[in-house]
Amino acid sequence: MFNLTLRDLQERFLNARTLKIAGTVTTVTILLVFLVNILNPKTVLSELNLAIPTFPLGSEIDLRNLEIPADLPSSANVYSIEAEEEINPAKAKEISLNFGITTNPKIFTDINGDTIYLSSQKGRNLTIRSNPWNLRHTITDFVLREVLPGNYLPNPEQAIGMASQQLTKLKLSTTGLINPQVRYLNIETENTVEVDKDSADYVEVSYRSGLEGVEIFNLFEAGNQTFLLINRREEFVTLAYFFPRVYLTINQVRIADIRDVQSVLSEVGQVIWVESDREDSPVIDITKVDRFQPTSVKLVLVETRGELLEPVYLFEGRGEVAGVPVNARVLTPARLQQE
């Protein structure tokens, strides 16, 4: 038999109690971690494989001036890009007639292999081009403001209404045209200047393309948008139109909370565009945007590798490249996955 003293019994009791408490703490800790993982799963963003070259962001991100829209969606669709409808000579002729041009369009092929239809009559010129299919109509004999002192440009609401009516009159579908914007312009020799309504020679109404209210952001050419230019005689002196493409819905995906995305902006952000506003400091050899101060963000659809349209976050704001101030656009993934 073992002879146990009172001290031995006390030590055994204390050791057993310590082990029991330690085991209980460990069990509670594991349970809490398990519950946290269930209630707050780790945010995992999908990969973003853009069809254009991009540049990385530096670690200096300033979010103090970022305005976050209150209506960002929690889900969006992924679409496949289907082949667009081909415009043949007969269709080009039909479109020309809608513009009041009765001559047969001339057919050309440019160095890129794109098809071009050209037609003109009495100061009206129409160009229809493939890849993607779009048209541009101009009037070359319109009257300038100097000889129309009593004519006034329409206000924004009137201009949007006039533009919509003109597209319908020309049998050009307005399906997929969203977010009409109005600008008052003076067009000078080398550039276009935005001015107030009373000083303007023209009013421009422009549209973005979209699906179910979400803008399709064009990565390849910022000018790929429909717009109409109206002079003081209410003539549509220029009309550019992009024919709607066909998209099929693949599936609906969950969208990550913007606050989770902005916390990892420097890690997942891809710079798609920069522009210096200083003529004496052109941006050369861009490898990284060192600093970025986004001022706006919105959910858009962009074309990714594999001919898909996917939802992404578009951040716009000011940045810096090698000490040169720039305007910058940055894309991040928006699709949410669960680990």
Say how many domains are in the chain.
3
Residue 164: per-residue pLDDT: 96
Q: What number of other Cβ atoms are within 10 A of residue 198's Cβ?
A: 8
Cis ω for the linkage preceding 132 (within 30 of 0)? yes
Burial 137-175 (b: 16+ CB within 10 A, else e): bbbeebeebeeeeeeebbebeebbebbbeebeebebeee
For residues 189 and 102, membership in a common domain is answered with: yes
Task: Report the C-alpha gap between 159 and 170 in whole angstroms.
Answer: 17
Average pLDDT, integer, range 252-264: 93
Instruction: Tell me the helix, strand and coil percentages in the chain, rounded to 5.
Output: 20, 40, 35
Percent of the chain's residues with pLDDT above 90: 56
Q: How confident is the model at residue 8 (pLDDT cuts 50, 70, 90)?
A: low
Q: Which residue(s) pair with 329 in the sheet?
A: 273, 316
Residue 145 shares a structural domain with residue 216: yes
**Dist CA 55 CA 321 (whole Å):** 11
Task: Please enumerate, as own/partner, the contacts of 192-199 that have beta carbons within 8 Å and a separation of 24 or more.
Answer: 197/153, 197/155
pLDDT at 138 over 80: yes
> Which among 248, 280, 312 is the end of a domain?
248
Give me the domain span that covers residue 28: 1-40
| Residue 147 predicted with pLDDT over 80 | no
Poorest-pLDDT segment among 59-63, 185-189, 203-207, 256-260: 185-189
User: Cβ atoms within 10 A of the Cβ of 312, count?
Assistant: 25
The pLDDT, as a whole number, for residue 9 is: 45
69 and 152: one domain?
no
Same domain assignment for residues 240 and 176 = yes
Which of 24-28, 99-103, 186-190 bottoms out in mean pLDDT, i.e. has the lowest?
24-28
Same domain, 114 and 224: yes
- Whether residues 216 and 234 share a domain: the answer is yes
Report the predicted TM-score, pTM, of the whole model to 2 decimal places: 0.77
pLDDT of residue 131: 84
pLDDT at 273 over 50: yes
Higher pLDDT, 95 or 150: 95
Q: Are residues 220 and 94 in the same domain?
A: yes
* Residue-level pLDDT at 99: 96
Enter the DSSP assignment of 38: H
Q: Are residues 4 and 92 in the same domain?
A: no
Q: Both 93 and 215 in a single domain?
A: yes
Q: What is the mean pLDDT of the chain?
A: 83
Last residue of a domain, one of 248, 263, 284: 248
Q: Which of 7-11, 203-207, 325-329 has the lowest mean pLDDT?
A: 7-11
For residues 134 and 257, membership in a common domain is answered with no
Which among 193, 222, 248 is the end of a domain? 248
Q: What is the mean pLDDT of residues 41-45?
A: 69
Region of poorest pLDDT, from 4-18, 143-157, 169-183, 296-310: 4-18
H/E element, 95:
helix 89-98
Give, in order, the Cα–Cα distances in Å from 177 to each of 73, 201, 205, 212: 19, 25, 12, 10
Q: Are residues 233 and 94 in the same domain?
A: yes
Q: Are 237 and 221 in contact (CB under 8 A)?
A: no
Q: Looking at the structure, do residues 76 and 87 belong to the same domain, yes or no?
A: no
* Alpha carbon 191 to chain centroid, angstroms: 24
Radius of gyration of the chain (CA): 30
Give residue 218's pLDDT. 85
pLDDT of residue 22: 46
Q: What percent of the chain has pLDDT over 70?
A: 79
Confidence at residue 43, expressed as pLDDT on a 0 to 100 scale: 65
Burial bucket for residue 292 (CB in 10 Å: 0-12, 13-18, 19+): buried
